C-alpha cells in the first residue's frame, strides 16, 4: 500500500508546485510596466547606441539652424546672431 501511495503523493506535490510557480510568473509579468524614456537622447541611445545619439544631436542642431549639413561627413557651424 505504501508503494502505491508514495508515487501519488509525489505526483500531487509536483502538480501543486507547478501550478503555484506558473501562477506566480503570470502574476509578476502582469505587473511590469516599461520604464519611461526621459528625453530624445536617451531614446536615441536605447535605439542605437552612441552613434544614434550623435545623429540625433546633429539633426537637432540642423533643425534649429545652429548647424549646416553639406554632405556625408561635412558639417559647418553657423555664426551666432
Between these two residues, 3 and 22, which has the higher pLDDT value? 22
Residue 78 has pLDDT above 90, yes or no: no
Sign of the torsion formed by the C-alpha atoms of 54, 56, 62 and 66: negative
Tell me the pLDDT band of 32, cut-offs 50, 70 and 90.
low
So what's the pLDDT on residue 1? Answer: 63
Residue 66 has pLDDT above 80, yes or no: yes
Distances from the Cα of 38 to the Cαs of 2, 5, 70, in angstroms?
A: 63, 59, 31
Amino acid at each position: 500500500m505504501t508503494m502505491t501511495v508514495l508515487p501519488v503523493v509525489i505526483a500531487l506535490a509536483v502538480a501543486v508546485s507547478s501550478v503555484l510557480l506558473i501562477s506566480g510568473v503570470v502574476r509578476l509579468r502582469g505587473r511590469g510596466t516599461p520604464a519611461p524614456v526621459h528625453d530624445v537622447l536617451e531614446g536615441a541611445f536605447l535605439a542605437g547606441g552612441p552613434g544614434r545619439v550623435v545623429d540625433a544631436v546633429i539633426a537637432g542642431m540642423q533643425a534649429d539652424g545652429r548647424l549646416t549639413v553639406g554632405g556625408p561627413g561635412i558639417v559647418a557651424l553657423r555664426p551666432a546672431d
